[in-house]
Chains A and B, each alone.
Chain A
Amino acid sequence: MMELENSSVMTVSNSGSGEGSVSSSSQLQLPAPPPQPPPPNPVVKKKRNLPGTPDPEAEVIALSPKTLLATNRFVCEICNKGFQRDQNLQLHRRGHNLPWKLRQRTGKEPRKRVYVCPEPSCVHHDPSRALGDLTGIKKHFCRKHGEKKWKCDKCSKKYAVQSDWKAHSKVCGTREYRCDCGTLFSRRDSFITHRAFCDALAEESGKKGPGAQTSDPKPSAEEEKATATEEETAAEEVTAATEAAAETAPAAVVAAPLPPQQVAPLELQEPAEPTELPQYMPPPSASLANTSGVSCSSSSSSSNTSLFASLFASTTSTAVAHSTATFSDLMSVMGHADRPLTEPPSLCLATNGGPASLFSPQAQSHDRRPFAPPPPSPHMSATALLQKAAQMGAAATGSSFLKGFGLDASSGHQENIQDDGLQWGHQRKLEPEPAPMLSAGLGLGLPYEPDLMMGSSSLFGSKPATLDFLGLGMGPVDGTANGGLSALMTSVSGGGGGGLNMGPGTAAAGWEGTERKPSSPAIR
């Protein structure tokens, strides 16, 4: 059945041989195969299966939708880097300094790989109908099952489910309630509520007569009448009301009533708001985002990712600069988030008529898929990857990790921690604990204290020289998963097999009509 690669070694060997099925695209149904350089090492000639006769020995690979949709067609399975051309991928692969040579010397022939489509309803979902090459399955998926976002033409609302989109399109623009401030609503209760708090209402009390209403171009006759009536009534009544309110000042109203003139500035603020940058968080300082060696997206709009990433895996030679990536820095930047509710209220009305149309099969599959396609996943188990992490520099990992927390034994950059840690407001005086948890490691407003360092030495584990950050055992080549984290990852990924679960959660309780509450629902 479907399985993922269990061992990085095997993966490497396949790709290292240069003619693993990943790069076999040139052999199979590409109309114009890109020219391929001769593989850098002896190639085991692959016999090509006849179509429809799958190799029973073949290894079935199930890639995620996200992987399949990635535009770089040639993907390094070790690091997920994508390439436009296979030859570039091959050259890149040689850069992975991994013991694929060992594998080769044992002489084991690389297993053929076939790929299944992640779409459960697809004919190619079945392993017996798997496609033989990576490019083929990618093309197939992209065409057949590419992620669709349904977008309304009239407004900017998007829907993941086609029936929702259809239902919305039916009502979008047909029923409209318009407030004096210009906002449109498709639902009356939202309109009413908005109107109650909209400054346009109070404004009217300041000005005039019944004639001062905006006419709505295309509401239904009923709504137009309703709007007109309301506004006329409001115009007359509110004027009287404000005066009355000011005079009688009902004892119940505790606050001094605001004169309408004061309300105007509030209203003026509102139009200004949409011009705010619609960024949830301010872009991180250059030192945080750009110098991070981590390959997560570090565009300003995903500043959170890069901040956290730089926190947790801040790297390298610019260690000095990186001590600025302290936890407290992180939190303070996060804390400065504006509330950019810049989208006009009308957009937030998720209107959707048509209750009759429940999920179409396609929509169903949208819903029951995992939320959105996860990032590309190579054919490696988490265990294997973490072993790799250990190989690549487990000793060093812990230090930068902790550096990210502001705990840096080698450099004395504690001043940042002190300054920024206090930004959070109130302090809490806690009794110093003899066995601090993360101790100074979190760098939260702590002065650098050697004693604390000593006391928390076990923070670094009991191994003297090598910081076995991932707990995977000593030494670079030891790939055995004996670490707490590896065991954890194994258990997390479903126990038995070392692979990770992919695709829709196994507890595939379709939601329609199901009343039971799964104890641990896989989030679809």
Chain B
Amino acid sequence: MRAELRGSTPGHVSVPDPNPFDTPHGSLSGALKGCLGSLDGAGIEKLLLHCATAVEANDATLVQQVMWVLNNIASSHGDPNQRLTSWFLRALVTRASQFCPTAIPSATTGLTRARPMTATELVGYVDLTPWHRFGFTAANGAILKMVQGRRKVHVLDFSIYYCMQWPTLIDALSGRPEGPPLLRITMPSARPSVPPHLNVSTEEIGLKLANFAKSRDVPLEFHVVKATWSCSSDALNGHSNFLQEFASCLLDPSSLGLREGEALVVNCQSWLRYLPEGSGRATDDLSSRDAFMELIHRLNPCLVTVTDEDADLDSARLTSRIMSCFNYLWIPFDALETFLPKDSPQRLAYEADIGQKIENIIGFEGEERMERLESGARFSQRMTRAGFESFPFDEETVSEVKLLVDEHASAWGLKREEDTLVLTWKGHNSVFTTAWVPSGYDG
């Protein structure tokens, strides 16, 4: 029996039975929970899909039913399956709530209220697993190789990780036989409103970085490109704000402060996924993925590093997205389970951040769905279309990455797919990292 919502039927008011659902011994919930707790991932996935289908079909009753079942599985302190389910359920609730007719606040705001981290906390955060440092290490290795012998290096940093990548590069540059170059790091002021969140400004981070570089005898100039267009306070269009701000940072390439004779490196770390596919008119839409790459190409960098998560989470179909999210994001949950206790605050915080990603991918559509991850294979095709050639990582870099991976749990692995390095967890792709040079680069 499916009660389809067919519109109002006046006169037909079903007053709820005054006896609420009573579980006198807590029995049903316990039994149900027990029973459902033994569902494997495939079963949970089916439930999620059913829920999504019901949401799309406007089948309120079925949605409630499935959510009720899911809720009995979900637990943010349970096993990884349960934890993952709890975040998916939240996302589905968010989605369902989109259809409420009157003023419904977005659920995302609720989730972003975790206390922002300090810089050192962020360091710990990115080092929980090799997930992030994998890309840092590979990209830095490629950069080091490419800028050998160059006296001036300028890095355009497009990353959500607030310069966590750079101390090790600075450290490595300081040890160069030919001495360190003059290093400039430039980043846009615009950043997508996604975790991790820092409690200090980008400028302060830059200052610390500059201090550190000084301590290493590496001259560093840090520059934040301000947007020429400032966003309104309307947080509703948060991501549109970001895109417009970002585009305005790029509108005038001279605001990037490029100089003659410097080796220009563009570093994209978990960034491109936030740029939309674009309307097709690249010139009008600077913030689109292809337009961005085109712009970068025009700047004639000596190297472009692209690191991101290796999954396709941008399907137009909700059910596909649920499947791919579920079959991908179990990885970090599983990884954390292996070495952090159930109640670990770090683990919970990290999982909540992933939960926010899940919520965005499943709960929203259109502009608000800012997470549009595409896999390494597709990104690579895009780079090729944009006129780049892949640049292989040298053996030294690969060994360094391997060393990093080996220092973590044995389930982490390293895989090479042509010129791409992939971090794997139990054999499943998690993060890819690549390096590119413009075709026919004239260094």
Contacts and interface: CB of A to CB of B under 8 A. Distances in A.
Size bin of chain A's contact surface: 35 or more
B210 interface: yes
Interface string B21-40: 11111111111111111111
Interface stretch (A17-25, A128-136, A213-221, A248-256): A248-256
A43 interface: no
B384 interface: no
Given A194-B120, A370-B79, A520 B42 contact: yes
Interface stretch (A31-39, A101-109, A298-306): A298-306
Given A237-B215, A319-B20, 13 more contacts: A189-B136, A197-B167, A280-B348, A280-B352, A340-B115, A351-B408, A352-B409, A388-B31, A401-B68, A402-B64, A438-B96, A438-B100, A503-B38
Contacts of B411: 161, 164, 367, 511
A400 B408 contact: no
A434 B53 CA distance: 20
A9 interface: no
A339 B28 contact: no
A47 interface: no
A50 to B, nearest CB: 32
A257 B118 contact: no
B27 A79 contact: yes
A490 B115 CA distance: 42
Nearest to B172: A192
A361 to B, nearest CB: 14
Size bin of chain B's contact surface: 35 or more
Contacts of A484: 1-2, 62, 65
Nearest to A67: B34
B7 A434 contact: yes
B104 interface: yes
B34 A371 contact: no
A342 B345 contact: yes
Interface in B60-78: 60-69, 71-72, 74-78
26 contacts: A79-B28, A187-B407, A238-B215, A255-B207, A270-B118, A280-B76, A295-B26, A302-B75, A313-B21, A313-B29, A340-B349, A382-B69, A399-B20, A426-B105, A431-B101, A436-B100, A437-B63, A438-B99, A442-B100, A455-B7, A458-B12, A460-B3, A460-B16, A467-B16, A471-B3, A517-B327
A196 B209 contact: yes
B50 interface: yes
A458 B37 contact: no
B103 A502 contact: no
A494 B203 contact: no
A161 B428 contact: no
Interface centre among A422, A464, A469 (most CB of B within 10 A): A469
Given A305-B75, A377-B37, A492-B47, A457 B13 contact: yes
B25 A312 contact: no
Interface in B200-227: 200-201, 203-212, 214-215, 217, 221-224, 226
B364 to A, nearest CB: 12
Given A160-B337, A335-B111, A457-B8, A254 B128 contact: no
A74 to B, nearest CB: 15
A141 B149 CA distance: 63
A194 B50 contact: no
Interface stretch (A51-59, A119-127, A390-398): A390-398
Given A402-B16, A425-B105, A523-B40, A435 B58 contact: yes
B276 to A, nearest CB: 21
Contacts of A336: 113
B66 A488 contact: yes
B123 interface: yes
A523 B22 contact: no
Contacts of B105: 421-428, 444-445
Contact of A280 (B69, B205, B323, B349): B349
Interface in A160-197: 160-161, 163-164, 167, 171, 181, 183, 186-187, 189-190, 192-197
A187 B130 CA distance: 12
A426 B171 contact: no
Contacts of B14: 457, 460-461, 463-465, 467
A51 to B, nearest CB: 29
B316 interface: no
Interface in B315-356: 323, 327, 330, 333-334, 337-341, 343-346, 348-349, 352
A380 B207 CA distance: 62
Given A255-B206, A372-B337, A485-B62, A439 B101 contact: yes
Contacts of A240: 214
B385 interface: no
A380 B86 CA distance: 24
B116 to A, nearest CB: 7
B93 interface: yes
Contacts of A465: 14, 17
A428 B103 contact: yes
A378 to B, nearest CB: 6
The 10 closest A-B pairs by CB, nearest first: A295-B26, A255-B203, A399-B16, A424-B105, A523-B41, A511-B426, A79-B27, A241-B214, A437-B99, A400-B20
B408 to A, nearest CB: 5
A247 interface: no
A257 to B, nearest CB: 6
B376 to A, nearest CB: 12
Interface centre among B17, B35, B109, B406 (most CB of A within 10 A): B35
Interface centre among A279, A339, A441, A464 (most CB of B within 10 A): A339
Interface stretch (A83-91, A283-291, A326-334): A326-334
Contacts of A181: 120
A386 B35 CA distance: 10
B62 A352 contact: no
A507 B18 CA distance: 46
Contact of B7 (A196, A258, A435, A522): A435
Nearest to A450: B13
A380 B34 CA distance: 10
A471 B2 contact: yes
Contact of A339 (B3, B110, B117): B117
B299 interface: no
A153 interface: no
A345 B124 contact: yes
B107 interface: yes
A197 B410 contact: no
Given A331-B107, A437-B96, A459 B406 contact: no
A471 B65 contact: yes
Contacts of A193: 123, 126-127, 164, 167-168
A301 to B, nearest CB: 5
B287 interface: no
Contacts of B31: 78-80, 378, 380, 385, 388
B427 interface: yes
A242 interface: yes
B258 interface: no
B16 A305 contact: no
A253 B37 contact: no
B40 A459 contact: no
A110 interface: no
B27 A78 contact: yes
Contacts of A434: 7-8
Contacts of A459: 3, 5, 60-61
Contacts of A348: 124-125, 127-128, 346
A161 B86 CA distance: 25
Nearest to A523: B41
B127 A349 contact: yes
A44 interface: no
B148 interface: no
Contact of A427 (B103, B116, B171, B337): B103
B116 A339 contact: yes
A358 to B, nearest CB: 6
A511 B339 CA distance: 18
A504 B119 CA distance: 40
